[in-house]
Amino acid sequence: MNFIRLRGIGVSPGIGMGETCLSEKALFMAKKEFIPSSRVAAEVKRLKRAVVRTEQELLQWKRDVESRMGEEHVFVFDAHLLILKDPSLFAAVEKIIRQERVRAEWALTQVHRKYEDIFSSLQDDYFRQRKFDVSDVLARVYANLDTRKRRRPSDNQTKRMVLVAHDLLPSEAAVSFSQGNVLAVAMDMGGATSHTAILARSMNIPAVVGLHDVTHQVKNGDFVIVDGTDGEVLINPPPAVRKEFQSKKEKYDKYFKELKKTARLKSLTLDEVRFYPLANIELPEEVSLAFSLGAEGIGLFRSEFIYLQRESLPTEEDHFSVYSRLAKSAYPSPVYIRTVDIGGEKSLPQLKIEKEPNPALGLRAIRFSLRNRSLFKTQLRAILRASAWKNVRVLIPMITELEEIAEVKLLLEEVKQELEREKHKFDRQIPLGVMIEVPAAAAIADVLLKEVDYVSIGTNDLIQYYLAVDRSNEFVSYLYKPLHPSVLRLIKFIIETALREGKDVTICGEMAADPLSALVLLGSGLRKFSMNPIFIPKIKKTLRSVELRTLEKMVEEALTLRTAQEVEEHVIERVLAKHPRAFLMGQAL
């Protein structure tokens, strides 16, 4: 067996090693192989047997899902069974086998391509999305052509494996990961900010993406090491390399355990000032990892995931089932549910969204919701119903002006009255907050704060708009500086205004997860830091090793400085002089 070493992008730290399980989608890449005419009939028979096996499999999954999650979740399997029974689909495959005398795998691949082309050319978005269903069914039949015992994480609850895939839809990733038997993930496609990457990180599954052709390099059952910290994948390594990575894994796991111990310590500075680490998450399943890492609430629930996980629009019950699970698992800690931040380039698969010339400045977030009121109302109804737990807050993204808040309030009141009439339980006093992401909103923070119960500063977008630097454009990323004096002044203004108004203020952008910035933010009056849970131990350790008064003085001086560089040097110098332990954070995550 050849030893192969591949480099990709490490998107979720840690090391996972074990036997490979290739995701079925990755298998859809047959080469053209001819067969003698004497084998044609047998090949057609092999195809038919695979279709039967797929039907049995789908029926079995349908029964399993029905018993585990309820009847409302089985519609996908019904749709897939219908496709499987469509005679024209497999007649086309059979025709290719007979006419071209090729193996069934190649014939299926051809038909798959043809359907992909047809569906992709359709105008109607809903029908265009059907290609995923056809593709799924064909992939299952494809996998069933191979009668050797296949292994999938879902086949065997106890065997833990390394999942190798060409690409994983967020929904596929969610299903695989939530079963708890994925040791690590390696993917051909993907970037650091893809949802699958975020999910792997938040579920603490080591992952490397962007490997281009890992699915061609491994076979089912190969031994693979995934090093998510350094972005490497090693296929069939010799014993010496295996040993080296085993010890690296043990070191990392020990370090991670140490971090987790921090979770049990109090969130207090040296001079006993209380701060609150909160978590940014996208799935209710992430709550337990977040709390085990020291989160004291869910400071940002990005609800877009509910839309991205399904092919039809989520119903009120779909929303409600997610929010109530979330509220219940975090109870009594608070959960800030952000209404959908979609539009522009984050398009909804279920809706026709016009392409915009400048999506970042377009019909996003609350602008989109106010244009699509029935979707917005469905979401608000579900959030309100989940608020019966009394730990739910509603958070509105991308507010620009006061009028938007007035509209949201009207709608919220309308929904409350509806729910009252329908005798639903909910929290009439549910706190309403807005995200400060647009500089104009920051400048009138005093005005907005009078109308809401709290604000959450979304520094990812606020910095992007304030500094006019596209947050995902690598050509200008050198200008994206959270410690730019202008940003510090703006944030300090928002925090001070909130404190003066006696209202809550949180930061939920990546800035809260950066130790230097977190020191500045604490010194600026912030107490609630919401971030990807994986960073909580590090930030908690940093803030526990300083005194507030050092930071307050440091910030006062920093605000007179001219550049981000000067601020950075100043923070390090001042904090280091008083609290050298603030920078003793061990290996960076």
Active-site option among 112, 166, 319, 508:
508
* Cα distance between residue 94 and residue 96, in whole Å: 5
Nearer to ligand PEP, 386 or 508 (CB): 508
Binding pattern for the stretch 400-439 against Mg ion, x by CB under 5 A and - elsewhere: -------------------------------------x--
Does 286 bind ligand PEP (CB under 6 A)? Our answer is no
Active-site option among 80, 166, 195, 570:
195
Spell out the residues 6+ positions from residue 209 whose beta carbon is closer than 8 angstroms to its own. Answer: 8, 9, 11, 185, 186, 187, 189, 190, 191, 192, 194, 196, 197
* Cα distance between residue 465 and residue 486, in whole Å: 12
- Considering the complex, what minimum distance in angstroms separates the CB of residue 174 from ligand PEP? 18
Does 458 bind Mg ion (CB under 5 A)? Our answer is yes
- Considering the complex, what minimum distance in angstroms separates the CB of residue 368 from ligand PEP? 13
Q: Which of 341, 427, 504, 514 binds ligand PEP (CB under 6 A)?
A: 341
3-class SS letters over 451-482: CCCEEEECHHHHHHHHCCCCCCCHHHHHHCCC
Side chain identity, residue 232:
E
Q: Is 508 a catalytic residue?
A: yes
- Residue 207 exposed, middle or buried by CB count within 10 Å (0-12, 13-18, 19+): buried
Q: Which of 10, 228, 509, 533 binds ligand PEP (CB under 6 A)?
A: 509
Q: From the list ligand PEP, Mg ion, none, pick the one residue 504 interacts with, judged by a Cβ distance below 5 to 8 Å according to partner type.
A: none
Cβ-defined contacts of 71-80 (< 8 Å, 24+): 72/317, 76/133, 79/133, 80/133, 80/136, 80/137, 80/140
* Cα distance between residue 310 and residue 497, in whole Å: 41
Q: How far is CA 572 from CA 186, 374, 396, 580, in A?
A: 37, 50, 35, 9
**How far is residue 14 CA from its own chain's centroid?**
18
Residue 345: both structure tokens together:
């380039």
Does 282 bind Mg ion (CB under 5 A)? Our answer is no
Does 461 bind Mg ion (CB under 5 A)? Our answer is yes
Q: Is 570 a catalytic residue?
A: no
- Considering the complex, what minimum distance in angstroms separates the CB of residue 194 from Mg ion? 17
- Considering the complex, what minimum distance in angstroms separates the CB of residue 292 from ligand PEP? 22
Does 514 bind Mg ion (CB under 5 A)? Our answer is no
Does 458 bind ligand PEP (CB under 6 A)? Our answer is yes
**How far is residue 367 CA from its own chain's centroid?**
23
Omega before residue 332 within 30° of 0, cis: yes
Q: From the list Mg ion, ligand PEP, none, pick the one residue 459 interacts with, judged by a Cβ distance below 5 to 8 Å according to partner type.
A: ligand PEP
Does 308 bind ligand PEP (CB under 6 A)? Our answer is no
Does 508 bind ligand PEP (CB under 6 A)? Our answer is yes
Nearer to ligand PEP, 252 or 535 (CB): 535
For the annotated catalytic residues, the residue numbers are 195, 508
Question: What residue ranges bind ligand PEP (CB under 6 A)?
Answer: 300, 302, 341, 437, 458-461, 508-509
Question: What residue ranges bind Mg ion (CB under 5 A)?
Answer: 437, 458, 461
